[in-house]
Amino acid sequence: MNKRLVSGIQPTGALHLGNYLGAIKQWVELQYDYDAFYFIADYHALTGRPKPADLKRHRIELLAMLVALGIDPKKCALFFQSDVPEHTELGWILNNSATIGQLNRMTQYKEKSDQYGQYVGLFTYPILQTADIALYDAATVPVGEDQVQHLELAREIIRSFNSHVGDTVLVEPKPLLTKSARVMALNNPSKKMSKSVAGSVIGLLDDPVTVETALKRAVTDSDPNSTDKSPGVANLFLLLENFSDSEMVRHFEGQFQKGTLRYSELKEQLIEDISAFLAPIQKTYRSLLEDEITLQRIAEDGAKKARPIAGETISRAKKALGL
């Protein structure tokens, strides 16, 4: 049997190229080599206190988008976190293997609590994330760079649990990063591309005109005396490597090296290639959303694959604890 791999993504609104390159693209590639468990982290999304109607819509839209991007529900388990109650059950258990001090070090809590308030769910978010991973004995967790701190904490929490029960009952995971793990904001390349930074993203549902506007505004400033790429230019090259063919990459690299690169031409190429990449995905996404029954069936089938494995881990953890 293949090695297990697990990852989740929150249903918090339309995905962007950062989410795709930093996470989902790998999910698609890895589903063929691993026994993959991919879930929509709807319990985690509660930490942003979304309006119920928005959460409901975002859940189903994310499911459709994941399938449109190439996640094959036959190859992996694709499900909603809240359909597998063992996530919260193990989350409770692991509350007792994490300290306030450890949680206090999480930079994401500091950022997000400014936005959403100091809710306990937001604070203990990484404990539930640890449960998500440990439930499936996952050795590998593909995520973007901003999740590395949570992953390191998950490893500590799991070690603490195992040391308490005196046995390696839960498996310690490792993060899996690719070189495109961090896509920067188009309008401010010192920050990561994020839906919470206005003007920073290209959304997977953007039409060609919106893609054009975003790219034309992308920051390229560079020091004329430097031979290195500025962060904005490096970010555009990262997009080029991912969405254009290798000949184009060589062509623009060559121009950059010679000092003859015209940013407007690089941007035109990106507008064309990114729009061409998005068009068929958007078409599939729209047709999937028209058939909610099939989407619901996909999620139910996914939960059916996940539950027995999650149940087995919970039994093991409870037994080890003396429950």
- Give contact residues for ligand ADP (rule: CB under 6 A): 9-10, 12, 18-19, 21-23, 143-144, 146-147, 181-183, 192-196
Residues 13-42, mask of contacts with ligand TRP (x by CB under 6 A): ----------------------------x-
Backbone φ, ψ for residue 139 (5° rounding): -85, -20
**Which of 146, 156 has the CB closer to ligand ADP?**
146
Q: Which does 194 bind (CB under 5 to 8 A by kind): ligand ADP, ligand TRP, none?
A: ligand ADP
Residues 84, 303: Cα–Cα separation, whole Å:
6
Residues 226, 214: Cα–Cα separation, whole Å:
26
Q: Which does 275 bind (CB under 5 to 8 A by kind): ligand TRP, ligand ADP, none?
A: none
Helix/strand/coil (H/E/C) assignment for every residue in 83-133: HCCHHHHHHHHHHHHCCHHHHHCCHHHHHHHHHHCCCHHHHHHHHHHHHHH
**Which of 35, 132 has the CB closer to ligand TRP?**
132
CA distances from 252 to 110, 145, 202, 230, 261 (A): 40, 27, 21, 15, 7
- Supply the minimum distance, in Å, between the C-beta of residue 289 and ligand ADP: 20
Backbone φ, ψ for residue 91 (5° rounding): -60, -45
Catalytic residue among 75, 195, 229, 305: 195
| 304 is annotated as an active-site residue | no
Residues 314, 86: Cα–Cα separation, whole Å:
7
Rounded to whole angstroms, the maximal C-alpha distance in the chain is: 69
**Which of 125, 237 has the CB closer to ligand TRP?**
125
Task: Out of 5, 7, 59, 73, name the contact with ligand TRP by CB under 6 A.
Answer: 7
Residues 150-179, mask of contacts with ligand TRP (x by CB under 6 A): x-----------------------------
DSSP state of 23: I
Q: Which does 132 bind (CB under 5 to 8 A by kind): ligand TRP, ligand ADP, none?
A: ligand TRP
Residues 212, 233: Cα–Cα separation, whole Å:
16
Task: Out of 4, 16, 25, 44, name the contact with ligand TRP by CB under 6 A.
Answer: 44
**Which of 77, 261 has the CB closer to ligand TRP?**
77
**Which of 17, 288 has the CB closer to ligand ADP?**
17
- Supply the minimum distance, in Å, between the C-beta of residue 242 and ligand TRP: 19
Residues 29, 19: Cα–Cα separation, whole Å:
15
Q: Which residue numbers are catalytic?
A: 112, 192, 195
